[in-house]
Amino acid sequence: MPPEMLCGRALATCLDEIEKFHGFIAPGIVLGGFMVDWARELIDEKVEADAIVETQHCLPDAVQLFSPCTVGNGWMKILDWDKFALSFYDRKNLTGYRVWLDLHKARSFPNLYDWYMRLVPKKSLPIANILDDILTAQRSVLCSCAITITRFYERQKKGEIRVCPSCSEAYAASQGTLCFDCQGKGYFHETPEQPDCQLFHAVVG
Amino acid sequence: MPPEMLCGRALATCLDEIEKFHGFIAPGIVLGGFMVDWARELIDEKVEADAIVETQHCLPDAVQLFSPCTVGNGWMKILDWDKFALSFYDRKNLTGYRVWLDLHKARSFPNLYDWYMRLVPKKSLPIANILDDILTAQRSVLCSCAITITRFYERQKKGEIRVCPSCSEAYAASQGTLCFDCQGKGYFHETPEQPDCQLFHAVVG
């Protein structure tokens, strides 16, 4: 039986929010919803908790949708480790909880297991079947553990900024006397035809 | 005069969404809303556009709220360059638009300028005054330019995963024969008192 509620909302609302934010009802975010729900239940509600997510795929969106932690407010950090795990911790005393997908438990839900381990081609495994497994399994495929954070707990505050003498934009002073872009480390070149771009160069150039 | 609409929504709805997602109505996200709005107007609506954001502070949340690109779906990449700029581009032909805060133009809006350049202590600059400036300025403090992307355009797909022989969790195979955590590069230690944790070790240990 699917749960009626998840992360303090009706399940249908949860699924709607996932679709709106992420583009579709990704199994990883639904599973992530159960993980966020559990971790936040374990930690005292009054605690202002930061999050660490151990994969950049899907799971960060579950944290952003179902907790106050986002990438832009700096309360969530993302590790590119491809572990389906997340931690919430008290930012004052660094204690909290880690919740992760337990592969041993997941074996009882073949669609979920085959999806996560990529044992079956996408075409042969309809998302609806994976979602059915996830909504049936709920927390039974997860583990949780009390933890103390030893790294990555510092908020990444904005450092000194400086105005680049070449492009006149503000940039992180740590990059040197020119911004990365003007050092040739940028990621684009301008396409000259665009009118506003020419106007800009006429003004500052 | 503040605009009636922003990013296809009533302005009040926009501000509500920002507060709900980010925790408060951060000036950087409101300004970012105007940037996303402009960039997405410049690029053909039919185009499936990916985003690059040039700072990790605030601006990624504007992209996530007001475009289909999120960190979890892989359509948005974040550069830690502290430039208040973003680009949307066609993921097929790599052409698109960059929009950025123009400091020269911003000087006409002292609260906005002093806030962004951190020239005045936070206590002396009420958020309401900064927001007033941003809502009055709208696009007039921004520049846009047509661009072609030359780096960072590849989707970061999930690579090969493997089961760690030590902790039995799945992890990115690129980490080696053990996951980072079991190599001693993790970010937490377990707090032994927690019952579920002991149960887990009893099962798999």
Domain map (residue ranges) of chain B: 5-148, 161-204
Residues ≥6 apart with Cβ < 8 Å to A80: A55, A56, B156, B172
Residue A205, pLDDT score: 32
Q: Residue A32: helix, strand or coil by DSSP?
A: helix
pLDDT of B203 reads 44
Q: Residues B34-59: what's their mean pLDDT? A: 95
All residues at 6 or more sequence positions from A31 whose CB lies less than 8 Å from its CB, including other chains: A62, A84, A101, A112, A134, A141
Beta bridge partners of A71: none
Among A55-69, A148-162, B46-60, B127-141, which stretch is predicted with the lowest mean pLDDT?
A148-162
Residues of A in contact with B149 (CB under 8 A): 187-188
- Asked if A38 contacts A145 with a C-beta cutoff of 8 angstroms, the reply is no
Name the residue in chain B with its Cα closest to that of A141.
B200
**Which tokens hold the place of A135?**
């909504």
d(CA A182, CA B138): 27
Question: CB B169 to CB A103 under 8 A?
Answer: yes
* Average pLDDT of the residues of chain B: 93
DSSP A116: H
Query: Alpha helices, DSSP H only, in A24-58?
Result: 27-42
Residue of B81, B90, B105, B158 best to disrupt the A interface, most CBs of A under 10 A: B81
E-assigned strands of B80-141? Answer: 85-90, 95-101
Predicted confidence (pLDDT) per residue in B153-170, tens digit: 998 888 899 999 999 999
- Residues from chain B that touch A59, judged by Cβ atoms under 8 A, are 72
The answer to whether B54 and B27 are in contact (CB under 8 A) is no
Pick the more confident residue, B55 or A1. B55
Contacting residues of A for B57, CB less than 8 Å apart: 72, 74, 158
Collapsing DSSP to helix, strand or coil, A155 comes out as coil
Computed over every residue of chain A, the mean pLDDT equals: 93
Q: Is residue A144 a contact partner of residue A88, using CB atoms and an 8 Å limit?
A: no
DSSP letter assigned to residue B103? H
Does A171 contact B81 at a Cβ distance shorter than 8 Å? yes
Residues of A within 8 A of B84 (CB-CB) are 169-170
Nearest by CB to B171, from A29, A81, A163: name it. Answer: A81
Pick the CATH number of B5-148 from 3.30.70.260, 1.20.1250.20, 3.30.1330.130, 3.40.50.300: 3.30.1330.130
Q: Decide if A47 contacts A100 (C-beta within 8 A).
A: no
- What's the CA gap between A143 and A99, in Å, rounded? 6
Q: Compute the distance between CA of residue B162 and CA of residue A44 in angstroms, rounded to an integer.
A: 34
Q: Is the pLDDT of residue A151 over 80?
A: yes
User: Is A77 a residue whose pLDDT tops 60?
Assistant: yes
What residues does B22 pair with on adjacent strands? none
